[in-house]
Structure formats: structure tokens, C-alpha cells
Structure 1
Amino acid sequence: MPESLATKPLESQVDVLIVGAGPTGLLTALALTRAGVSTRVVDITIVYCPGQADGIHPHTLEVLQSYGIADRVFKEGTPGYAFVSWNPSSDGGIMRTALTPFIPIPTARYPFSVAFAQPRLEGCLRDGMKECGAEVEQGVTPIILEISDDKAILQSPTAYPVKAVGLSEVVDSAAASQVIGTESEVVRAKFVVGADGAHSWVRQALGIDMIGESTNSVWGVVDFVPETDFPDIRTFSTINSPHGSTVFVPREDGLVRVYVQLAEVDVDETGRLDKSKFTPDDIIKVAQKLFHPYKLVPKVIDWWTLYVVGQRVASSYSVKNRVLIAGDACHTHSPKGGQGMNAGLGDAHNLAWKLAYVLRQWAPVSFLDTYDAERRKFAEELTDFDKYCVKMFATKVKADDDETEGVTRGELATAYATRAGFLSGIGVQYQPSTIINISNPSLASNLVIGERLPPGVVLRVASFCPLELHDVLPSDTKFKILILPGDINDPKQKAKLDAIAARLDQPEGFLKRFTPPDAPEDAVFDIITISTQMIPPRLLSHWEKAYIDAESFCGRVGGKLYAAYGVSNDGAIIVCRPDGYIGMIAALDGVDAVGAYFSGFLCARPDA
């Protein structure tokens, strides 16, 4: 158990203080503790009170797999492979009009989403933290944050410019502001991450504005065990009935989740509504009308809530690159696309490795500018996506030849297909920057620089065992340098590959220049060669990292990676960032271009 504050020193230091122990804060903590970063996680709730997010989308599944914690999700969760559309029938009821793949994207490693309750995911993340000796301090919160104005201190990676005042155990979360006293702890941190939800205290303490809008559109959501004759009760469904629209999600343990729009609901000037005036039966009654002529009776109601649709993004994700916010603290939207928890985990995955690089003095503090640039741009695109979803769900579905206002079934299907990349997370693309170099896209014509590296099967040379490439690219803070040399039976290709091997040993090569003097050779860069033939010894950092693109003996898989990536026999070098995104692509004889890429943001060793 975490040490009681009664026995803690009244002043302490930590590399990273994380405020908020939801999925975003916990994944940030897990990644940092595994990276050897001194981390504390505090949460204001006295008793662990999990949230109610549920869906985990394909790219988030890839992220969790990269941390080695997806197996429990697959074992305990409810996968959704299919998407069913129901629309108005001629008799005033509803009929099934389409059955499609849930994720119609060929490059999806996991072509499905998984319903896996937030408490269970948080349990996985907390268990992972415990393995690293870290736990959440429940019922603990800061009251004041102070950031130094000294520019030299702010730029020093060894300084502690943030002071969290009043870090104390609270008796009443609602009265947390009363805990400051002579026994309050003061924590001096190098960085603070605010992952404390939509009503983030950290964000408000820093004076960061939320930019966007709210509406008077009120939706209800209820989890229950149903008694029903609806044939798609265990399939993700959207229902567009003559009376309105609903989203229907199968969950674990026989539960289903239903979203419905409520009519004639008063919202006050602050954008809030009085939940006490409603019951879950109000939501069920609307759902029953939408499901007509099918029966829908709740046997057990597990949870319910109401929410006002609004889309907002924080004006900044950091203050002086020393206090940063993530998750719902910096973007809010409706749950229509199931993006909330997925977006927050994406924030954590993007931020953690960058913090580790700055703390290790491998990159300057200004490197954290890329977190704001990449994730705030994503959040702006997310709110636009959410507005579109809300509009589509609120629009009447009409026949193709109907000239009245509304949307046709074909338009709905097209809208879903064209936005599946964003919905799944697979199509998220970061824009050109110091860590996204979009030169040379033709060298791997089927890859998109700035998107996540697609999966593929390779064979380990030592055993000819087929492996998923993603599984040899874990989230371990290392850049993965994928060398695809093409046909090394060609003397020109063999010469280029030998030149790479020689360059790696030279002081001016990126491997020597950016690897710290006392660190292992693979501390920063993992060199992975994927050939169609055997590989030169210098490019074999370990026999387990030698792979070929060939078909396996058993299972008949593999042998398609070059073709899938669009890499010709001329070969290519693919730089995969620690978060799995493609940072750049270089020609096989462009190893110096790779060095130039890293010189744009990494700190060279002192003797380089």
C-alpha cells in the first residue's frame, strides 16, 4: 500500500506527478514507471469510483497489446465484429437493412471493437503498475500548483519547477479546498500531468480555457439486462425508427447499453440539467418506442445517466511544457463514437515516451511541444467527427426517392465507411513536424507517414516461426529502425546494406551519435532487419531480431510484407516511433538522412 501521508516528509520530490487515476492517468503512469521514471499518481476520490466508459477500438487494442495487457481484454471483453443498421419499415416499425463488418479496414490487426468496462481496464493498468512497485494514492489531491517563471529552471531537465502545494489526504472530496494546513505535503515535481477528467481541477488551476460549444440536445444512456425478441440483441446496432434514433451496444455479463435522445428537456444557462427529475424508466420508455414492434423489457438495470451534447477542446495542452493535461481534461464530446476513453489512452500513449526522453536528457524540454501539436489537432478533428455523428443520429432517415429533408440509407452507409478509419483510430494521422518527415513516401507506397505502422507477418530466421510484426515492436520507448533491404542477391543492394552496417559503427552515424555513452547499444534504437534473404552479421543485434519476409511452412502465412507496405526490391528504411507511428521513410542508401531526422530533436552525446 502507498505510504500514509502521516509518515511522508512534508516536502518531497518526484519526476512526474499525475493527478487523476482514470485510464489516461493510469496508462501514463504505467508507461513511465516501466521506463524507470519516478512517478506518483494521486486521485481525489476517497473510495475508488470507476467511470463507465466501455468500448475499446481497434487501434487502442493495438496500443494495449504493445504494453502486454490486451490478453485480459480479449478474454473478458465482448467483441463486436458486425455492425447492423435498422431503418423504418413500410408498416411503421423497423427492419434490418444492412449487416456489415464493424471495422471495414483491411489493415486492421483487430477488425473489431471490444466492450470492456472501464473498471476492468483500470484494474489491468493498476496491476501493471503494481508490478513496477507503483500504486494509486486514493483520497489525495493537490490544492495549488505553482510553476517557476525562471527560464533557466524551466529549460533544465534536472530542475523541479512545479510545486504542488497542499497534497493531503482528504476527508471529503467535495471539501478538498479545506485540507491545507501545517501538515500538508508539498511536492516538487519536474512535470505534472493533469488527467483528472472533464471538470479538471488542474486545467482550471492553470486557467486553460475550453473552446467550443454546447447544445440543448440531451441523451440518456442505460445499461441493463433485457428481456426481448429483438433478433440483433447481441450485435452492435443503430436503429433509425420513425420516432427517432438509438445506438445499441452489447456488453459483458449479458448487459446491453442503449443511447436515446430525449425530447423537451430543460438545460440551464450553465449547460447542466437536473438529473433528479428523471429515472432510468424515462430512457427505457423512449427506447421501447424506437424498438417497436419488438419487445424490450429491463430485467435488471445496472447503471444510467443523462448528458448534454457538447464539443470542446482545451486552448492549450500545457503550461510552459511543465504541467500538461490529457484525456477528458482537454477534450469533451458526446459518447456517440465511443471515443472518450480511446482518445484519452491515445493522449497517454503519445505523451509518456516524450516525457521519458526529456527526463533522460535525450531530448530538450521543447520536445514536448509535439504533444500539444499532435494531440490537440487530433482533438479538433475528433470534435468535428462528433458533431457529424450527433447530426446524423438526429436526422430523419428517408427512402432514396423521398425529396423531404433527411438522410438516405445509402448516405448513412457511405458516411460510416468513409469515417471508419477515424472511428477505429487506425486512420489517425499526425501532421509534418520535427518528428514527422513526409519525404520519400514512394519508397513504401502503401504506407502513410504520420500514421501508425500497419501489422504484418514475418518469420524469425532462427526458427522460421511466424510472428506478428507489431509484437516485436513493443512500447518500450525505443525507436524501431526497420531495414528492408530488398533483394540482396543484387550486388547493388548488398553493397547498400553493407554500407548501413559500416555506418552504424562510425561516430557520426546516428546509432553512435545519439546513444548515451554508458547506455546499451539498443537503448534508444532497435535495429530490425527484414530481408528476403539471410542478413549480414552486423545488422543482427540479436538472433531474435533477424526476420525474413517469407511464407511459413505451417499455416501458410507471411511472405507479403514488402508487397503490403509497397516496398520494391530497391528496399527502404522505415523509422517507427516509440508510439508505433511512422516518423520517416528513407532510401536504403539514405542512412545519413535518418541521422539528420534524429538531429532535429534528439540531443547528441557530449563527445559526438
Structure 2
Amino acid sequence: MDQETEIQNADSDSDSYTDVLIVGAGPAGLMALYWMAVYGVRARIIDKRGTKVFTGQADGLRPRTLELFDSMGFQHRVIHEGHVAVEANFWVPDRNGKLTRQGPHCSPKINESNHHNMLLTQGRVERFVIDAIQNYSDLEIERGIIAESFEYDENLENDLDAYPITVGLRTLSDEEANPVHLTTNTNESGQQIPNEQGRGSLLPDDWNELIQKSHIRKTKIETVKAKFIIGCDGAHSWTRKQVNIPLDGSVTDHIWGVIDIVPLSNFPDMRRLGTITHSSGTILVIPRERNLVRLYVPVQIVNNTSDTRFDRSAITLEMIKTRIQDIISPYTFDFQICDWWAAYQIGQRIAPSFNKGSRIYLAGDAVHTHSPKVGLGMNMSMQDGFNIGWKVAMVAIGAANPAILNTYTEERHPLAEMLLEFDKLWSGEFTETNENGVANSDKAERMVDVVEKFMDFADGLKVYYSESLLVWKDSKDIGSDATLNLIPGERIPPVKLRNQAEGNSKWTTRLFESDGLFRIIILAGDIRTEEQKKRVEILGTVLAGKDQTKISPIHRYVHIPGHKDQIRVITIHSAPWKEVEFFDFPEILRPFDPIMGWGYGDIWCDGFCDWDPHCQGKGYEKWGVDRTRGAMLILRPDQYIGWAGELEEVDEMTAYLDGVLVKMPTSEL
């Protein structure tokens, strides 16, 4: 009997255990896995596909997502490969029916982030996240595996040492893991032709993914017991169905085609983001990397009164091409290279809850589906995974209060509702007829209005996280003088700062790394004044534990793997760089390590830099903080503000942290 036959015929002889099982290795699943790697969690991630995504899928990246990438250390790779999209043109018929350009239109908040909208295929983004995971851990994606059975013992839910989840896994055959639609394309006659995916069409760091790297297992069937499960397995989520969480909403009555091609066209704006409107529909034009352009186009309307899905086999590549040629006329359109194409009928649906109890969580398309035309699907999915990932990971290693898990649905569900509202308004502008009877000449203005209405949400400039254990929004008006734009539950607006010890500049999106730590950010103000210097010295005394009347949060909480502490203190002062010295600050703010030396990376200056036009010394103004008195805040591991207050309010800050983090045993304090 050969090895393959032996594996197929074997039965599972034992159960395996893992703290966290992630189902689905798409954008949400990979972001959740990132946190498992950061915190050293015993975790597994399975995916039914035999390989990662190479072509197609999502391609839009919003500023907030890019800020997170910066904190994870790979945003430079996105910049190197991606296509920046900050302006959009809208082509509409004039009174004589001739297509005319309206625009370019640019976001009025283009400089609210140090990163701008970019376009890059999902496959490359997944590559970058996978590489970031490997910087922390040897966790790998187990491909070609599906979950087939599920049991959940609710009686064990409150016992954090128990494994209440039991999942049966099965290793797929090569044919099952790489179905025909993933290994073939369709020619103009509707025939299936091989997909010539090889080294020539991939970047070198994806070459190994072409090779099947299946671990030799004793069995083809495996039973896994887990403490937590995170379902990131798409719109038809197996995980969601196991816990009977529905998707509420409906499907649309329009069928859309999408193609990634290298265009052969005389249309002037084929390499510019925008739309082309015709009496029979509107095309969305999205320029991409490697001379690719993505086009979304309405193909046909279906009778959808029964709320059923259409047969995708009825749509061909030639049909999509013909529709584009009709709408873009009198300009020409053709192509020789088609990297990927698909047809879809998206439903705008949302789950009433993103969790089942305290052990089962869902993220991404598993809990919200919409059209891809708003360019938010990958962003929302990744931010879902980013949100639940660090929370589950911290609870799994015993470093955080399990009650923080309750904030996941509270924080992400309202954003998913906003996403669906945005999609309904935006997608409605692409249909053949306007129910309000508005002329096409007004379409550009309407589209701009929709975009601007949802801009803060879509770009991630605002997330609207409500008050919770992780977000303290107390009754006092802390924003009136000291922290006007530093709002608990929101991201900290990015600025570029100078390092006090070396003078080099860095964006806060990179400074505040996604390394699993909570951060105390001390905005020390102008310590050239005696009064302010005294305030900072008193704060240093308290944080160092030298004030017996107050409790210091430093060294108080359970450590996470790879770190001596759960808290890192970053100080940012507002005095001119040359008029303050590194050693002017209390030692607790620049701690000394007998091997690594002083904490030179902990003291920063909001000061002007002659050689860096982005480092203008205006961060305090952008944050709305008084340059003399400063302020203090807590950043969560995901860079959202958890608490904000004055330098003297260490007791309240510590109370916030006590509610979130697990304290060290008294004997170890």
C-alpha cells in the first residue's frame, strides 16, 4: 500500500488541541492570524483553497487600512507595487449625447492621513500579511482543508481552560482543493481553457505558492478541540451556518461583470479612476498595477422576486466585453490580456450579531456582503480581523479581561450597517435607469455627494466606536482645552515627529507599531517652562512607583511573550528640538537596559524639520492639544484611543487599564 492510499484510508486516532482555530485564510483570517503570531498564541488556520489568491478579488485600499499596514511594517511594499488613486473623473453625456469629462474630483480631506487611496490586487496584499506573520512566528496556513463537523459545549463557555469547541477537519484531494474555476478560464466560445499561471505571471515571492506544500499527516480526518473559533470563511460561511446566525437583507436584481485587463483603447482616461455613463448603464474604471485596468459593468437584469441567485455560466467574457464597447462608444475598446474576470449578483446582507457567546466569532464577508464597487470589502474584512484578533489573542494567553470580547460586535456591527447604506446609495448610481428620473448629466454631482457624505467612514477617518470597557467616554469635557481631536474610540490622527535623540523623523503610524502593547502617550507640552517641567517630573515620579499615595500602571500587568511589560510609554513634547535634551526627561520615560542601553526611541518632539516637508511641528495643533500643558492618552494595540485626560489623572488612567488587563500576581509586582 503506497503512502497516499495509507493516508486516505486511515482513521483519526486522537484529538488535537489548539487555543484558536481560524477558518478561512482570506483578508480577515490573515489579520486575525497576525495577532496570534504577535502574542504567541497556539493557533491554527485552515483554508479550503489549495493555494493563496493570485489574481482578481478585491483591489481597493483605504487610508486607514494603509495606516494599519504601516504599523505592521509593510506599507512601503504597497507603495512600491500599488497604484495611487486620489482623483476621479466622471464621464457623462452632454445635451447632444456626447461623452464629456467632469472632474477631476479630489477628496477635500486628502491630507487627513499620510496615506492615500491605493489599488493593488488582493493576492499581493495577502502576500505582505503572510510575510509579516512570519516575522513573528512559524504559523502557516493549512491549505486544502475543510471543516465538516461542529460541536459546541456551552456549559464550558466560562471556563477559560476548557476547550468547548470540537471541529472535524478533512484534507481535500487536489481536485477538490483546486476546482475547475480556479485552474481554468473561459474563452469566447464558453469553452474551458487552462489557466497558464506560472512564474512569468507572478512576482518571485509568490513562486513557492505554486507548489503544493501539504504536511504529511497521519490521517485524512482530524478532530480538533479549540478554545476559540474565528470564522472568516466568506459569504457562504460554514462557521456561521453551524451556529445558526442568519444574514438579513436581499440580493440585487442586476448582474455585473468585472474584468482585469490590459486595455487597448483610445479612451482618454483609461488610466484614471472614474466612471463612464451611458443611457444603458455606467462603467466603473479602476487603474491597477502592471498596466492592468479593472472595469465593472452592468450586464443584465434578472427577475429576482424569489430572492434566488442567477446562473453565472450564462455570462461570458465576450458578453462583458461587448457591454463595455457599447457604453464606451464612440471610443474603442479591446484587449489581448485578461488577467481575471467574473460575474456576480451581490446581496446587501448583514448578520444581526458577529459572535455566538464568548468563544465563536465571525468576520468579513461571513457577516456582511455588498457590492465590490465601493472599494471597501477587503478593508472592512481586514479591519474586522484586526479588531477581533488582538482581543481573542490577549484573552487566550491570559493577559486581558475576557469581557473585552464583548466589544467586538459592539464596535464592528454599526460600521457594517454604514457600509451597506453607502453601498445602496453608491451602487444605485450604476443601474440602467434612475428611479427618480434624474438626467444623466446630474450623475457626477450625485456621485460626488454620496462619496462626500460617507468619506470619513469610508476612508476610516472616523470609526465611531462607542463607550465600553475599552473606550472611556466619561462625562467631563476633556476635549475643550487639552484633547480636542483626540477622541476615545477614534484613531489618533497621524503626524510626523522628530526623534529627540537622533533628530530623524517618523510618522506616528509607524511609531505606534502593531506589536501587541498598550501605549501610554504622554504629550509633555513645553518643558522649557518651570511649571510644565514640574508637572512632567511629578508624573515621572508616579509612573516610577515612587509616590506611595498613587498606583503606577507600569510593571503592573501580565507580560506578553517577547516583552518585559504590557505597557510602553511614549513621550512627545512640543518644545523646539534643539532647546531640549534627551536627559531632561525623567528616567522612567527613557528607561535604561543594561544590554540595549537607553530607550532612545521613547522620546519624540513635535518640532520643525528643515529637510522633511511633512515634519512641520504642527502635530499638537492637528490634535487640538495645548502646546504648553499637553495631555495624556492610552492607545490600544490597534492604535485606537481608549482613554484621554490630563497628566495628573494617573489614577483614572490606571483604573481604565485595570478593567482591561490582567494584573500580575502580588508576589511578582
**Is the shorter-chain TM-score for this pair beyond 0.5, marking a shared fold?**
yes
1:529 pairs with 2:588: no
Sort the Cα spacing of 1:212 and 1:582 in 2 relative to 1 into closer, same or farther, 3 A: same
Whether the 8 Å CA contact 1:103–1:424 is kept in 2: the answer is: no
- Quick one: which of 442, 445, 449 aligns to 1:410? 445
Partner of 1:465: 504
Residue 430 of structure 1 deviates from its aligned partner by 1.2
Residues 103, 420 of structure 1: 8 Å contact kept: no
- TM-superposed CA distance for 1:490, in Å, is 3.2
**Residue type of the alignment partner of 2:557:** T
Q: Please list every run of 5 or more consecutive structure 1 residues that lacks an aligned counterpart in the other structure.
A: none
Rounded Cα–Cα distance in structure 2 between residues aligned with 1:398 and 1:149: 49
Question: What CA deviation, in whole Å up to 9, does each residue of 1:54-86 have, x standing for no partner?
Answer: 111211111112111222222122222321122
Identify if the C-alpha distance between structure 1 residues 393 and 277 changes in structure 2 by more than 3 Å, giving closer, same or farther. closer
Instruction: Call closer, same or farther: CA 1:244–1:63 in 2, change over 3 Å.
Output: same
- Is the 2:39–2:560 contact (alpha carbons within 8 Å) kept by the matching residues of 1? no
Q: Distance in 2 between matches of 1:63 and 1:137?
A: 25
Partner of 1:546: 603
Structure 1 residues 298-338: Cα deviation after superposition (integer angstroms, max 9, x where no partner): 22223222221321111221222212111111110011111
Decide whether aligned partners of structure 1 residues 89 and 331 sit closer, same or farther in structure 2, where only a CA change above 3 A counts. same
Counterpart contact for 1:395–1:406, Cα < 8 Å: no
Alignment of 1:491 with 2:530, yes or no, is yes
Matched positions, count: 596
How far apart, in 2, do the equivalents of 1:391 and 1:261 lie? 11
The range that moved more, 564-573 or 441-450, is: 441-450
Give matches, 1:279-358, under 5 Å. 279-358=316-395
Write the distance in 1 (CA, Å) between the matches of 2:323 and 2:440: 23
2: CA distance between counterparts of 1:412 and 1:509?
Answer: 54
Question: Does structure 1 residue 78 correspond to structure 2 residue 128?
Answer: no
Counterpart contact for 1:451–1:582, Cα < 8 Å: yes
Kept in 2, the 8 Å contact 1:157–1:364? The answer is: no
1:579 is matched with which residue: 632, 638, 654?
Answer: 638
Q: 2:427 aligns to what SS in structure 1? A: helix
Tell me the CA shift for residue 407 of structure 1: 4.5
- Sequence identity, in percent? 32
1: CA distance between counterparts of 2:342 and 2:232?
22
1:117–1:337: structure 2 CA closer, same or farther, 3 Å change rule?
A: same
Letter in 2 for 1:578: P
Contact 2:608/2:616 (8 A) holds in 1: yes
String of CA shifts for 1:177-205, please: whole Å, max 9, x gaps.
xxxx9962211111111111111111111
- Confirm or deny that 1:271 pairs with 2:308: yes
After superposition, what is the alpha-carbon deviation per residue over 1:19-55, rounded to whole angstroms, capped at 9, x for unaligned?
1111211221122112211111111223545561111
| AA aligned opposite 2:589 | L
Q: Deviations over 1:203-248 (max 9, x none)?
A: 1111111112222122221222211111111111122333321210
Q: Which amino acid aligns with 2:571?
A: T
Task: Give me the whole-angstrom Cα distance separating, in 1, the residues matched to 2:108 and 2:65.
Answer: 13
SS in 2 for 1:426: coil
Instruction: State whether structure 2 residue 643 is matched by structure 1 residue 593.
Output: no
AA aligned to 1:415 is: V
d(CA) in 2 for partners of 1:433 and 1:330?
22
* Partner deviation per Cα, 1:373-405 (whole Å, 9 max, x = no partner): 111121111111111111233386899xx9869
2:553 equivalent in structure 1:
511
Aligned pair partner of 1:200 in 220, 237, 255:
237
Match of 1:11 among 15, 26, 32: 15
CA distance in 1 between counterparts of 2:290 and 2:511 reads: 34
Separation in 2 of the partners of 1:364 and 1:170?
A: 42
Q: Secondary structure at the match of 1:600?
A: helix
Give the corresponding residue for 1:434: 469
Q: Identify the match of residue 298 of structure 2 among 261, 285, 288.
A: 261
CA distance in 2, matches of 1:454, 1:603: 29
Partner deviation per Cα, 1:141-193 (whole Å, 9 max, x = no partner): 2211212222xx322333222111245455664999xxxx9962211111111
Deviation at 1:464, TM superposition (A): 1.2
Aligned residues of 2:492 and 2:641 also touching (Cα < 8 A): yes
1:562 aligns with 2:620: yes
Counterpart of 1:61? Answer: 66
Cα distance in 2 for partners of 1:511, 1:256 equals 52
- The reply to whether residue 605 of structure 1 matches residue 664 of structure 2 is yes
Which deviates the most, 275-284 or 472-481?
A: 275-284
- The code of the aligned residue for 1:549 comes to D
- Letter in structure 1 aligned against 2:479: P
Amino acid at match of 1:596: A
C-alpha distance in structure 2 between counterparts of 1:295 and 1:518, whole Å: 59
Deviates more, 1:183-192 or 1:12-21: 183-192
Alpha-carbon separation, structure 1, partners of 2:538 and 2:265: 68
Q: 1:87 to 1:104 in 2, by over 3 A?
A: farther
SS of corresponding position for 1:336: helix
| In 1: Cα distance, 2:493 partner to 2:325 partner | 42
- Return closer, same or farther for 1:409/1:84 CA change in 2, 3 Å cut-off: closer
Equivalence for 1:214: 251
Q: Counterpart of 1:197 in 2: which secondary structure?
A: coil
Equivalent residue letter for 2:297: V
- Structure-1 residue corresponding to 2:36: 32
Deviation at 1:291, TM superposition (A): 1.5
Specify the SS of the correspondent of 1:143.
Answer: strand
Q: How do residues 377-396 of structure 1 correspond to structure 2 at under 5 angstroms?
A: 377-394=414-431
Q: Classify 1:201/1:520 alpha carbon distance in 2 versus 1 (closer, same or farther; 3 Å).
A: closer
Distance 2:377 2:13 in 1: 37
CA drift of 1:106 comes to 2.6
TM-superposed deviation, 1:7: 11
1:52 is matched with: 57
Q: Is the 8 A contact 2:500 2:603 kept in 1?
A: yes
